[in-house]
Structure 1
Amino acid sequence: MRRSAALIVLPLLAAAVTPAVATPAAGATAAESYVVTAPRPGAFPLVAKGKAAPLVVSDADHPGVVRVVGDLRDDVERVTGVRPATSVNDVPAGSEPVLVGTIGVSPLIDGLVRRGKLDVAGIAGKWETSLQQVVRDPLPGVRRALVIAGSDQRGTIYGAYDVSRRIGVSPWYWWDDVPAKQADELYVLPGRHTQGTPVVKYRGFFINDENPALDRWAPTQFGQGLAPGFPGGFNSRFYSRVFETMLRLKANYLWPAVWGRAFAEDDPANHATASLYGVIMGTSHEAPMMRGIEEWNRHAVPAVRDANGTIVTPGHDPYGGTGEWSFRRNADAIKAYWADGIERMKSEGFEGVVTLGMRGNGDVGLPDGDGIDLMQEILGSERQILADKGMSDVPQVWTLYKEVQRYWDKGLRAPDDVTVVFTDDNWGNMRKLPDPSLPPRAGGYGMYYHFDYVGGGRNYKWADTINLDNTWEQLDAAHAHGVDRLWVANVGDMKNEELPLQFFLDNAWKPIPRKDLPAWEKRYAAENFPARYADEIAHILHEYGVLQARRKPELLNRRITSGPGTAVTYDDQMTPYSLENYREMDRVTADWQRLAARSQRVDRVLPESYRDAYFQLVGYATGATANLYELRRAEFTNILYAGQGRAATNDLADLTDARFADDQALSTYYNTELAGGKWKGFQSQPKIGYGDVARYGPNAPWQQPELNNQALPDEVFPAVQRIQVPAAADMGVAIDGSDQWWPAATTPAVLPTFSPYQSQPRQYLEVFNRGATAFDYRVSSARPWVSVSKPRGTVDKQVRLEVTVDWWHAPRGTTRVPLTVTGAGRTVVVEAVVDNPATRPTRGYVEANGYVSIPADGASRVVGDWVRIPDIGRDGAGMRPDPVTAPRREPTGPRLEYTVNVNTTGPVTVWVYLSPRNNVHPTDGLTYAVSVDGESPQRVNVTTATGADDTAMNRQWERNTSDNVNRTATMHVLDRPGEHVLKVWQVDPTVVVQKIVVDTGGLAPSYLGPPASTRVR
């Protein structure tokens, strides 16, 4: 079942996986690794000749350090089959031990420092910094030892886990069933080895939007929550696995799950378990003062008031209040509630970061309005509670999520020691960054970022949809702006977001230069799979992120269009990818088919022990998404065919059903057989049934299909159609670039214009049957140099014919060539328009089919400093000014120049495709400028031009984020045919240019825009 489930979707394409050279240590290059599998001069034998070095720790050390020694012991055994002995305080006689401890806490480590055996300069006093070093003669009678020393508790923990990773244990060994790399012997090279000090102090993630996946899986795996009457909570057994994984990833900070869950109540041991592991606890943007909102909801019944504010139905809460989550109407009770949260933190002694501020119950704005005076009062009350409890020194944050950012924009500032956390717009685009002109804050700045989201324009919860190039650009901007106090990412269920989460945390530890991104991807692959396949798997994962980021899978049945001005129209029964123009739907589906086939080839050659991990980290997401694209193509083609009465209509309905069955089979395998049933119920997130308002109610356009709060099995929406065709043959003709059919259409059948410079070298026409009886057809061309691939034959249901031009014999200028199609008693004339320019351009992008499409990195001249970001665009690289912290400037200097050749004159429209960024600086909007030849640059304020509001999250914003692009236009007049220079000017440095399209009158609607035009060099 494992193999057949993984290969259920696609046929294989011929290719081979090229083995790569193995690296000395898992996840590390030869230059980085300090662990090898063969003896070297001076190397420490961690495991040699069937014997493992004993692990020694002091009982005076932090509990988290004592605990991690057990994990290191287990990891060594996972790799070598040899289980090290562990010892507390005492070094076994005659041994060469591993000494694990914290500087200033462990007598073992401090003794080495006092005797001059261990130099901790550059380590001691740092934040979460570790040192691994082979020390000679560390103790009487001990010839040498491997010392793992940390500057603090987590420094030591990270040091131990770094050894685990170097010997071949992935951080995802449990969460994704990644096997440990096997070795008979392990040696640690001499020298000082350190991972340095993290750049971002608090680094972590938010488990959120956790229903239905974690909600169904966790109780089966770990048992129910322990809060009386609320068994759906997550207990300490579950969080132990979360804490271990996050520490292996060098994270230190967690926002726990909140959907109907209360961390402190669901298991009284949860906070103590966090302390045991050494994890810093926080609470989300809607949960101030160390209290989850569910703690209030479980024990408070809000009063009901009439329109005048008079209570008509009394409410209650444990603090003698009205039960309302309103600071204006129930302040005393709420303040008492918050005080209890801080008292619990103080009495239990767990390490935490306190969230300040207040939002409405249910992740919404305050019911009392957004007046600055009210928020000032709330912040002041919270600060007073902390002072009263003697907890003023605890780190505090104010997260400017959604509507909360309005307070900041209106001038409200938290106290200087509070960390101000800026947020993205839930779709990976930061909304605000620190103003570089302002002085630094004592509390610094933080960032809250999303890899998963519930809300408009649509939930995206099912699979990883992150393009690492895009994420890198935003993380790079955050680093450049000094956002380094706290980073937290919403990772949904945590599972399915492994790659972006690890990338996020690695960037928080130390910024990754863009040029090193391919190497990082390969290290990630090598850490989880055999090194000889790492390069191929890294390429698959990279391409997966690029394709997935074009559009979220949940949005494949929603077309968003713009009307006059900035009006936006949604159609949840239309594919966003064009079925008729530029063969777009065919092309994007083929991209996914090729990627899935490539993934399947790797799956076939992997050792059996890696296949469960591969299915979880690579195979399922690539195969299931490819299958989903094929399903959508069949579904929407079926709807088109039904309107044309094609005999092939029902075949497409059958294909849709088959792809849906494949989707369900993959989910069933995931939920029942994968890893011996370990992930029972986990793959239950709907992704196909979005948008069915009639069935699922008014929130259906964005909310997952639900009934009684339980996710249903996915159902295809819109529904496919089945038709009954007559017995007699009846010919219809369809053409490239149109959704009409002939002879029914009232306009002539004209193919898109042929040009020797078009990027799509062929057009097509389809001869189809509208009846059940086959018929013979014939196509004749009026000119011998225009031909069709199959000029005659028999049509059972339909035949696609490719139309080509022999450019050697085609006359110069524009020629209209009739193609006469006959069959089943009908005749249809299709016109081929052939444009063979009399003059041939010598350079630049050349107009064809009424447009010029230019990739952002295709500039003929780059003026000033720009960064090329490969694959950040929906179909190519992007260009961003450098540095990203530069001030706004007039469009007089840095620019991208593109040479274009057109064969028309008059007005043209220049569309610039930008990454859907928000205006992160205190200006009037995100701005760039465009000019052609010597004209004055036209400034374009993207914010006002599109009407997108990332605070109100209006429909214009939903369009930009759902489409993953900002499209804005300028009008220009070309005074002559031939060569022109189009210039895109820097105004704001945070603009990322993806693509430019010049519409000379023939641009057709599509999602990605037309393919790149031919470039003459």
Structure 2
Amino acid sequence: MRLLNWKGPSLAVFLGSLSALRNVHAIGQATCVSFNSSPSVFSVVSGGRSAPLFISEDEWPGVQRAAADFASDIEKVSGISPTVSNVTSSVKSSATPIIIGTLGQSSLIEAVVNHTKLDVSSVSGIWEAFMIKEVANPLPGVPKAMVIIGADKRGTIYALYDLSEQFGVSPWYWWADVPTTPNSEIFISSSGCSHGTPTVKYRGFFFNDEQPALQSWAMEKFTNGTGAALTGSPFNHFFYTKAFELMLRLKGNYLWPAQWSSAFAVDDSQNQPLADFYGIVMGTSHEEPMMRSIPVEWGLFGVGPWNYSTNAQNVYDFWVNGTIRAKPYENIFTMGMRGDGDLPLSETTNVALLEKVISDQRQILTDVFNGTNVTDIPQMWALYQEVLAYYEDGMRVPDDVTLLWSDDLWGNMLRLPIPSEFNRTGGAGVYYHYDLVASPRDYKWITSTQMTKTYEQLSQAVDREATRIWIVNVGDLKPYELNTEFFLAYAWNSSRWSYDNLDTFVSAWAQREFDLSSATANEVASMMTNLTRYNNRRKPELWNSTTFSLINYREAENVFSDWDALLNASTMIYDSLTPEFQPAFFQTVQHPILASSTLGKMWIAQGMNSLRVSEARLSANDLADQVEQLFEKDYDIKTEYHQLLDGKWNHMMDQTHVQYFYWQQPMADTMPPISRMQSKIQALPGAMRISPEGSAAAWPGDNPNQCAAGYSCPPPTITLDSFVPLNSRYIDIGAGGPSPFTFTATSNVSWLILTPSEGSVSPSNPEVRVEATVDWNQVSGVQAAQINFNASVPGQPFESTPAYFVANHTVAPSGFKGFVEGDGGVSIEAAHASRNTSVAGITWVELPGYGRTLSGITPWPRTGNDFNNFTAGSGPSIEYDFLNFNTINDGGNVSATLLVSPSLNSMGPDRPIKIAVQIDDQTPQTVAFIPPVRSGDASSAVGW
């Protein structure tokens, strides 16, 4: 079979470097820190003494504050607290200092540059760039110094936090309680390190869907229990102090604040100036224009309906006041308008009205920022859901307004710039989701986004020049720590990461956070890959008793075992850690695995309970008990999280997640229904129940799953061919009531082996699994056997139930190499190709860890062929050799099923993604697997 080519920007198909050394703490950046002395290093701390920190009084206040953090970080690592001094160029120092400052702001740095003629061309005028370098005789009377220079305020701040991370202070030291690995000696290489402008100019996250977890937690930790006077919100400057520092340590610079029951500028009068003081660029979400919170502020201060066609003046005045309030600070203004409560505007809204909205908003900016060219004021228009449809209908905004393209709420980009849109002066950006409140189902409880998928989608944004703004919805932030850091790290420097080294990001993260060996860190990387793989097959909020098949391919049982294996691996590492590291590991690794595995196993147990009841098997009662136990364990896990560190994170796991009834979160966690078999009365057909693999039925007696009639059905027939991977079928021998019995399983042929062939079943051991295997050396072609299951029940008549077994010894031609049909099908992992043919420099590459099982594949690079399509058969192809026994020439039909990622038509509605499939020399068949739909109709128009 050949996948001949794709048409469109990206497709991942599923069928079925950086070195990291212990005590090297930085992730994804060039390191210049060491912990051993040498002739080519500068001493930060050595011999019990620390280099002093020099900074000028005229430095940015935010840099002054970050320098204090830097000093504190040095003390965390070394136990030595450096002095921090405001100095002038006339300072004299016998110690070798660290001089900190910003080009164009710090008179101290200006003096260093003038005195030494230091070449700062690599950072001068470069957005958020920095350089760190040892300089001889930086100032008269100072023999040498390590000089930290930022091109701008945040450049200097990032330089300090970059070094702090390399020293061993995790960005998550407070938010995830990561201990600092001590080192009494800290050095920076004399040549230092540097960073140019980030890949994405504005990078940040969105606190959203924040009730019940984040809001309840913040209310307890940052207020006296009442919240803000007008809104009741707990998100005050105490909360944002912690949030802003984390963002800067993660190299972010842009925030959409919490909005439901909150209003950033109203909740606390210190919030806006605090953000500017820290150096955080503030914005508002896709549905909150002109730096005003919707719906809270409109509910407080708005007059009349939120409707620009009937109430334009009041809405206009509302926006004017928000703009005046925001003017002193660094912001990105959200343009346009959605309906109140993040709903679409009314159906009578037209493009002309929306264009007037933006025109009027631009006039407000011009009036309020009198003397400033409106094109120099950062603005963005979020092409979110139905708003993208307006764009497709021809609506346009001024060229300097950033177009913020959105995913489909589930991590699949709806649209990205096409080449004709690359040169807009406002550029383009991305709004992405790790958390969602929307139809068809919320997902806001636990981490469920695959890092590989995030990379695959956002690397397209890089390729398509959508790098002005990236914002990700992180809900409550916890427990999305790892994914949030990757999002910002990739935005900071996309060139560091590719599809084949993402696992090193996680292993480096595990080493930094938990001080693990490289081998154990690699285990953690594998665990986190599996955690998100299992949770992304279907989001936990969408799980139910039939998510995984209870009868086919032992799927549910295998998933249950996978969860157990994952939890056992995580627990082994957790138990091996010292107590100081366990809280951080519990929050970021152990808890997500423990919580997810418990919920996943509960749903599987509930499905098996229902199945066993329908089969009149007493083991249903044990499964009912298991469901109850797992449901209670779910609560215990949440309680353990909330009691961690004397309740520091109390309420953070309050999010309900068990048994959704519609898209919105359940109002309480509710145990799914269970059924019990009357254990004191025997099932009508007798004490023994026979349940063969691949069937939802049981024998003897009637069952609707035995045959179409549902009664008087023949004995079961079990089939097996020689290419079934497990090379066996099972038959469960179950108790049908309170009577214990012994059984035997015998066949009339020597080639069928039954293990065990006898056993005992009782209420305390309600079922035994018999595996039926075949000695294929004794079988030629298709042969049949009969199995008799006989039961001896004390005080009851002898029971005997027959079953038929058909063995099909299929044989592949001599010398064939490839995949062979087993059990009526051929299943191939996408990466296991026989041939991979490149065209125009494009080839199919593997995306490790992407998808349901092993990995996915996608054409690479996505920029190839100048973004143009190939015709079927002319593009890069990937081939799979397989053999099936139901051939076309013999009159049968062959169906090929491709499991594809839900990549959307991001080149626009007129460029649908297509893939062509050819089997042997048959005519290729081309499929556009994403149907053409008007933007905003593909998912619910409500979403946050």
Separation in 1, partners of 2:917, 2:357: 47
Aligned residue number for residue 458 of structure 2: 475
Are the counterparts in 2 of residues 328 and 368 from structure 1 also a CA contact under 8 Å?
no
Are the counterparts in 1 of residues 232 and 261 from structure 2 also a CA contact under 8 Å?
no
Matches within 5 A, 1:379-528: 379-390=358-369, 392=374, 393-438=376-421, 440-511=423-494, 512-528=497-513
SS in 1 for 2:124: coil
Separation in 1, partners of 2:179, 2:761: 54
Matches within 5 A, 1:7-22: 22=21
Matched, 1:238 2:239: yes
Are the counterparts in 2 of residues 754 and 835 from structure 1 also a CA contact under 8 Å?
yes
Matches within 5 A, 1:902-917: 902-905=884-887, 906-917=892-903
Alpha-carbon deviations, 1:5-28, whole Å to 9, x = none?
xxxxxxxxxxxxxxx985353135
Separation in 2, partners of 1:370, 1:731: 68
Matched, 1:792 2:758: yes
Unaligned runs of 5+ in 2: 1-18, 708-713
**Do the aligned partners of residues 270 and 28 (structure 1) sit closer, same or farther apart at CA in structure 2, a change above 3 Å counting?**
closer
C-alpha deviation, 1:722, in angstroms: 2.1
**Do the aligned partners of residues 211 and 860 (structure 1) sit closer, same or farther apart at CA in structure 2, a change above 3 Å counting?**
same
Separation in 2, partners of 1:529, 1:129: 30
Separation in 2, partners of 1:731, 1:281: 69
**Do the aligned partners of residues 422 and 42 (structure 1) sit closer, same or farther apart at CA in structure 2, a change above 3 Å counting?**
same
Alpha-carbon deviations, 1:491-543, whole Å to 9, x = none?
11112111111111111111112222122222211221114142332222222
Separation in 1, partners of 2:732, 2:453: 39
Amino acid at match of 2:832: G
Separation in 1, partners of 2:443, 2:395: 32
Separation in 1, partners of 2:85, 2:368: 40
**Do the aligned partners of residues 369 and 233 (structure 1) sit closer, same or farther apart at CA in structure 2, a change above 3 Å counting?**
farther
Separation in 1, partners of 2:748, 2:166: 70
Aligned residue number for residue 84 of structure 1: 82
Matched, 1:721 2:675: yes
Aligned residue number for residue 12 of structure 2: none
Are the counterparts in 2 of residues 326 and 368 from structure 1 also a CA contact under 8 Å?
no
Match of 2:906 among 907, 920, 924: 920
Alpha-carbon deviations, 1:848-884, whole Å to 9, x = none?
1111111111221112211211121211221111232
C-alpha deviation, 1:270, in angstroms: 0.2
Matched, 1:822 2:822: no
Match of 1:702 among 640, 655, 663: 663
Aligned residue number for residue 890 of structure 1: 871
SS in 2 for 1:69: helix
Between 47-56 and 876-885, the greater mean CA deviation after superposition: 876-885
Between 579-588 and 780-789, the greater mean CA deviation after superposition: 780-789
Between 737-746 and 410-419, the greater mean CA deviation after superposition: 737-746
Aligned residue number for residue 686 of structure 1: 656
Aligned residue number for residue 331 of structure 1: 312
Aligned residue number for residue 298 of structure 1: 299
Match of 1:881 among 854, 859, 863: 859
Aligned residue number for residue 40 of structure 2: 42
SS in 1 for 2:698: coil
Amino acid at match of 1:855: E
Separation in 2, partners of 1:144, 1:534: 39
Matched, 1:855 2:829: yes
Aligned residue number for residue 987 of structure 1: none
Between 527-536 and 740-749, the greater mean CA deviation after superposition: 740-749
Match of 1:358 among 325, 334, 337: 337
Separation in 2, partners of 1:950, 1:833: 52
Matched, 1:72 2:70: yes
Amino acid at match of 1:173: Y
Q: Give % identity.
A: 37
C-alpha deviation, 1:816, in angstroms: 2.2
Match of 1:590 among 535, 538, 561: 561
Separation in 2, partners of 1:870, 1:455: 29
C-alpha deviation, 1:439, in angstroms: 5.1
Aligned residue number for residue 831 of structure 1: 804
SS in 2 for 1:491: strand
Aligned residue number for residue 801 of structure 1: 770
Separation in 2, partners of 1:635, 1:948: 37
Aligned residue number for residue 728 of structure 2: 762
Separation in 1, partners of 2:169, 2:422: 44
Separation in 2, partners of 1:169, 1:430: 34
Amino acid at match of 1:89: V
C-alpha deviation, 1:925, in angstroms: 2.8
Amino acid at match of 2:70: L
C-alpha deviation, 1:446, in angstroms: 0.5
Separation in 1, partners of 2:623, 2:832: 39
Matched, 1:288 2:259: no
Matched, 1:844 2:829: no
Separation in 2, partners of 1:295, 1:779: 70
Matched, 1:551 2:530: no
Amino acid at match of 2:810: P
SS in 2 for 1:625: helix
C-alpha deviation, 1:950, in angstroms: 6.1
Alpha-carbon deviations, 1:916-975, whole Å to 9, x = none?
11111122532111121112211112123xx777622459x99xx9xxxxxxxxxxxxxx
Aligned residue number for residue 154 of structure 1: 154
C-alpha deviation, 1:785, in angstroms: 1.0
Matched, 1:677 2:663: no
Matches within 5 A, 1:564-579: 574-579=545-550
Separation in 1, partners of 2:283, 2:230: 25
Q: CA RMSD in A?
A: 2.0
SS in 2 for 1:105: coil
Between 394-403 and 822-831, the greater mean CA deviation after superposition: 822-831
**Do the aligned partners of residues 724 and 297 (structure 1) sit closer, same or farther apart at CA in structure 2, a change above 3 Å counting?**
farther
Greater relative CO, 1 or 2 (CA 8 Å, sep 6+) = 2
Alpha-carbon deviations, 1:441-467, whole Å to 9, x = none?
111110000011111221111111111
Are the counterparts in 2 of residues 134 and 147 from structure 1 also a CA contact under 8 Å?
yes
SS in 2 for 1:909: coil
Alpha-carbon deviations, 1:65-115, whole Å to 9, x = none?
011011001111111111111111255632211111001110111111111
Separation in 2, partners of 1:225, 1:122: 50
Amino acid at match of 2:648: K
Are the counterparts in 1 of residues 386 and 935 from structure 2 also a CA contact under 8 Å?
no
Q: TM-score normalised to the size of structure 2?
A: 0.90
Matched, 1:734 2:695: no
Match of 2:524 among 515, 534, 537: 537
Separation in 2, partners of 1:924, 1:34: 46
**Do the aligned partners of residues 446 and 225 (structure 1) sit closer, same or farther apart at CA in structure 2, a change above 3 Å counting?**
farther
**Do the aligned partners of residues 176 and 39 (structure 1) sit closer, same or farther apart at CA in structure 2, a change above 3 Å counting?**
same
C-alpha deviation, 1:790, in angstroms: 1.1
C-alpha deviation, 1:140, in angstroms: 2.4
Separation in 2, partners of 1:900, 1:120: 61
Matches within 5 A, 1:953-964: 953-954=938-939
**Do the aligned partners of residues 949 and 661 (structure 1) sit closer, same or farther apart at CA in structure 2, a change above 3 Å counting?**
farther
**Do the aligned partners of residues 464 and 777 (structure 1) sit closer, same or farther apart at CA in structure 2, a change above 3 Å counting?**
same
Unaligned runs of 5+ in 1: 1-19, 301-316, 558-573, 692-700, 707-711, 962-1017
